[in-house]
Structure 1
Amino acid sequence: MSNPNWKRVVIKVGSALISPNQQGCSSHYLLSIAQFIVRCRANGTQVVLVSSGSVAAGAHLFPEQEKSDIAVKKAMAAAGQTEMIATWDRLFDFPSAQMLLTHADLRDRERYVSIRETIFSLLDNNILPIVNENDTVTTDKLKVGDNDNLSAMVASAAEADALIICSDIDGLYDKNPHEHDDATLLKTVDHIDESVYAMAGGAVKGGVGTGGMRTKIEAAEKAVSHGIDTYIINGFTELSFNMLLNGENPGTHFKPHAKPMQENVHWMRHTSNAQGEVIVEGDFDASLDSNADQLTSSEIVDVKGEFSVGDTILVRKEDGTKLVKAKSNYSSCLLNFIANQENEEFANEFEEKTGPIISDQHIANLEKE
């Protein structure tokens, strides 16, 4: 690793660093992170902070409540968010801004572009964006679920050069270091595949946060496909941040793809959720990622779910093979009507007048998944 020449970085900090004992916010571990952010900015590097911790920070205010109750957790998030932002704000002598997001904000293209513009505007005015999932209003349908993946989406939206994910261990090991004394730290990962996910294991049980090493690998996979250097480091030690600033790798470095996905394709594949499915014939073999016109109603055998014009859909074969995620130019109702027409000439004339079923400006190829 050479001396970093980052123009923009995103750093993700988890609940265990914010509120180690779930007794409100603590600056014990945050001081070194804040110093890292200050030094990055002094070096001319713009920083976006993705900070978990609102639920953990607010937990102590509800001592007699059942913590697993969804309404209580939302209330904990609402109360803890203000304390968390105030804690961060005290550590800086420059302004910061709060951005609370849901997955609904990110998966809607217009709102996603608005988020990008807001981040860029804040950074251009030397204001530190502090991003968190809006746990107070999220539902299962709207939530990202963990801030590891949220940080990767934010890094992509912000066009960051690097994503730094803080963990409670030094990085990715070939086996669980809490259970195996001979576990070896992987300093570099060139390609993320199932063997890498196997090393990550499952989610943390009984921890303060909502994720684990697996969600960090998921985030790394999203980020590197957009050309973003990604690091998993130990956020509990100041040495990690000093090493990064000195151009050294303190944890695990996930190398970015040599040919990153274009921004709109990356958003379609990794951020936008499919609202429905279009099932095509099993022998359909057109290259949809290069020619949207290849998909016509004559190839469609079924339409699943309800979606509107402009929604993201999944196009797959009858055997389950995923082809692409794409923006639909038809509603599910209209597409069902056209696909079920026995008069093929009518369907062809309709499509000639109204255009292709999916937009060639927003197609993400999935055939290699």
Structure 2
Amino acid sequence: MAQTLVIKIGTSSLTHPETGQLAIATLGALVETLTSLRRAGHRVVLVSSGAVGVGASRLKLTERPRTMPRKQAVAAVGQGRLMRVYDDLFTSLNQAIAQILLTRRDLVDRTAYVNAYNTFQALFELEVIPIVNENDTVAVEELRFGDNDTLSALVASLIEADWLCLLTDVDRLYSADPRQDPTAQPISHVSVAELAALEIEGGDRGSQWGTGGMVTKIAAARIASSAGVKMAILRGQQPQNILNLLNGESIGTQFEAQPRPDNARKRWIAHGLIPRGRLYLDGGAIRALCHQGRSLLPAGIVKTEGDFQTSEAVILCTSDGVEIARGIVNYNSHEISQIQGHHSDAIPTILGYSGAETIIHRDNLVLTGNHP
């Protein structure tokens, strides 16, 4: 059965760690594997790191650039070189590719989000493999994905993928960094409940050229799982393991997916938007949201945190800060801090004008965390 696959390969797998030069053998194996998957009828997206590393190598830099303007300049040098290598390799197999550069702004804006979805679908119909990267050259810190693990998980959510495969420099998830801790235990399977409680000891970076480590991969797994996408961590030097994964083999570390949310708009609220604040709720409001499908009323809010405007996204959490949901607010933070704890009937008296009865309508609210 044809499936939709997002494959992310990290800088540590794409390049030689000592020099930053491209690992052509790995790239060749990756291109062959993805082409085979596409010809078998699967819809394939590649999220590729490496632009900064390749740019640094081309410019003969000895370490990763530290400032944002320099990093963006180096990425601009590397991105064209990286795509040329991909195009040469895929062309040798008569496989068409497309470059898609995304910023977080493309997912925050609802119209851009829908347009991105439609572009991916059109490319699949044309039997093209999209190659995705963050648009490093124009992204600003506030609207960055931060790492390509997060980007790949958000793309998987956007296109309703069946699998997200993270190709990295280890063969699976371990309880600690096996390169530093010889007692680290391998983890082959992670259930939804185990993922919620999972904490991994280890670095937050891979190689000196990369930005991701196991911490970002766990974060990506949580995004993917909550969007109904299964995820696997596999060794990047052996991309053909993706084929074994689809054949049902127990390989790498595999993460279960939660049931997929049916509502595309709610997936966008949960994963596309950047939360600008937090609302802390009492037990009654939590039960109404989690178990009765109700909207959020001002009476159930015990604390407002952050500075946000009307129609921006916020995190809803328990009194001790555990996230349970996200939603789009009908009032700004100053207004909510005034009406929190009060009945909706009191809103006109407190604010001096009549507004919505709800802080967040249930159509603009999605459950995301553990539900008490």
Q: Place the TM-score, normalised by the shorter chain, in its bin.
A: 0.7 to 0.9
Task: Specify the alignment match of 1:365 in structure 2.
Answer: 367
Q: Quick one: distance in 1 between partners of 2:322 and 2:166? A: 33
Task: Specify the alignment match of 1:17 in structure 2.
Answer: 13
Which string of whole-angstrom CA distances, capped at 9 and with x for unpartnered residues, describes residues 77-130 of structure 1? Answer: 111111111111111123221111122222333322222121111111212111
1:234 offset after TM fit, Å? 0.5
Q: Sort the Cα spacing of 1:240 and 1:309 in 2 relative to 1 into closer, same or farther, 3 A.
A: same
Which string of whole-angstrom CA distances, capped at 9 and with x for unpartnered residues, describes residues 123-182 of structure 1? Answer: 112121111111122232111111111111111111111111101111112343223445
1:52 lines up with 2:54 in the alignment:
no
Q: Quick one: distance in 2 between partners of 1:283 and 1:220? A: 30
Q: Quick one: distance in 2 between partners of 1:318 and 1:183? A: 35
1:333 offset after TM fit, Å? 5.3
What is the 5 A alignment of 1:226-241? 226-237=227-238, 240-241=241-242
1:355 offset after TM fit, Å? 4.9
- The one-letter amino acid of 1:178's match is R
Query: Is residue 324–residue 364 contact of structure 1 (8 Å, CA) maintained in 2?
Result: yes
Q: Sort the Cα spacing of 1:245 and 1:295 in 2 relative to 1 into closer, same or farther, 3 A.
A: closer
1:224 lines up with 2:220 in the alignment:
no
Q: Sort the Cα spacing of 1:122 and 1:320 in 2 relative to 1 into closer, same or farther, 3 A.
A: same
What is the 5 A alignment of 1:28-43? 28-43=25-40
1:7 lines up with 2:3 in the alignment:
yes
Q: Quick one: distance in 1 between partners of 2:186 and 2:340? A: 53
SS in 2 for 1:82: helix
Of 24, 28, 34 in structure 2, the residue corresponding to residue 27 of structure 1 is 24
1:186 offset after TM fit, Å? 2.5
Which string of whole-angstrom CA distances, capped at 9 and with x for unpartnered residues, describes residues 280-328 of structure 1? Answer: 56765552355454513x5556544333332112334655454531111
Q: Quick one: distance in 1 between partners of 2:71 and 2:351? A: 54
Of 188, 193, 196 in structure 1, the residue corresponding to residue 198 of structure 2 is 196
Residue identity over aligned pairs, in percent, reads: 31
- The one-letter amino acid of 2:105's match is A
1:254 offset after TM fit, Å? 1.4
Task: Specify the alignment match of 1:172 in structure 2.
Answer: 173
Task: Specify the alignment match of 2:186 in structure 1.
Answer: 185
- The one-letter amino acid of 2:325's match is V
SS in 1 for 2:101: strand
1:103 lines up with 2:104 in the alignment:
yes
Q: Sort the Cα spacing of 1:341 and 1:226 in 2 relative to 1 into closer, same or farther, 3 A.
A: closer
Q: Sort the Cα spacing of 1:301 and 1:252 in 2 relative to 1 into closer, same or farther, 3 A.
A: closer
Unmatched tracts of structure 1, length 5 or more: none
Q: Sort the Cα spacing of 1:239 and 1:324 in 2 relative to 1 into closer, same or farther, 3 A.
A: closer
Q: Quick one: distance in 2 between partners of 1:134 and 1:287? A: 41
SS in 1 for 2:326: strand
Q: Quick one: distance in 1 between partners of 2:67 and 2:351? A: 55
Query: Is residue 304–residue 336 contact of structure 2 (8 Å, CA) maintained in 1?
Result: yes
Q: Quick one: distance in 1 between partners of 2:213 and 2:76? A: 24
TM-score where L is the length of structure 1 = 0.85
Q: Quick one: distance in 2 between partners of 1:285 and 1:187? A: 34
Q: Quick one: distance in 2 between partners of 1:114 and 1:64? A: 37
Task: Specify the alignment match of 2:86 in structure 1.
Answer: 88
Query: Is residue 103–residue 139 contact of structure 2 (8 Å, CA) maintained in 1?
Result: yes
Q: Quick one: distance in 2 between partners of 1:163 and 1:361? A: 28
- The one-letter amino acid of 1:261's match is P
Query: Is residue 2–residue 42 contact of structure 2 (8 Å, CA) maintained in 1?
Result: yes
SS in 1 for 2:216: helix
Q: Quick one: distance in 2 between partners of 1:359 and 1:138? A: 32
Bigger CA drift: 116-125 or 47-56?
A: 116-125
1:274 lines up with 2:271 in the alignment:
no
Query: Is residue 292–residue 356 contact of structure 1 (8 Å, CA) maintained in 2?
Result: no
- The one-letter amino acid of 2:68's match is I
Q: Sort the Cα spacing of 1:99 and 1:181 in 2 relative to 1 into closer, same or farther, 3 A.
A: same
Query: Is residue 6–residue 162 contact of structure 1 (8 Å, CA) maintained in 2?
Result: no
Which string of whole-angstrom CA distances, capped at 9 and with x for unpartnered residues, describes residues 182-201 of structure 1? Answer: 54433222233466322x52
Q: Quick one: distance in 2 between partners of 1:64 and 1:108? A: 36
Query: Is residue 7–residue 160 contact of structure 1 (8 Å, CA) maintained in 2?
Result: yes
1:233 offset after TM fit, Å? 0.5
Q: Quick one: distance in 2 between partners of 1:156 and 1:142? A: 18
User: When the two structures are aligned, how many residues end up with a matched partner?
Assistant: 362
Task: Specify the alignment match of 1:135 in structure 2.
Answer: 136
1:351 offset after TM fit, Å? 8.7
TM-score where L is the length of structure 2 = 0.84
Q: Quick one: distance in 1 between partners of 2:185 and 2:322? A: 36
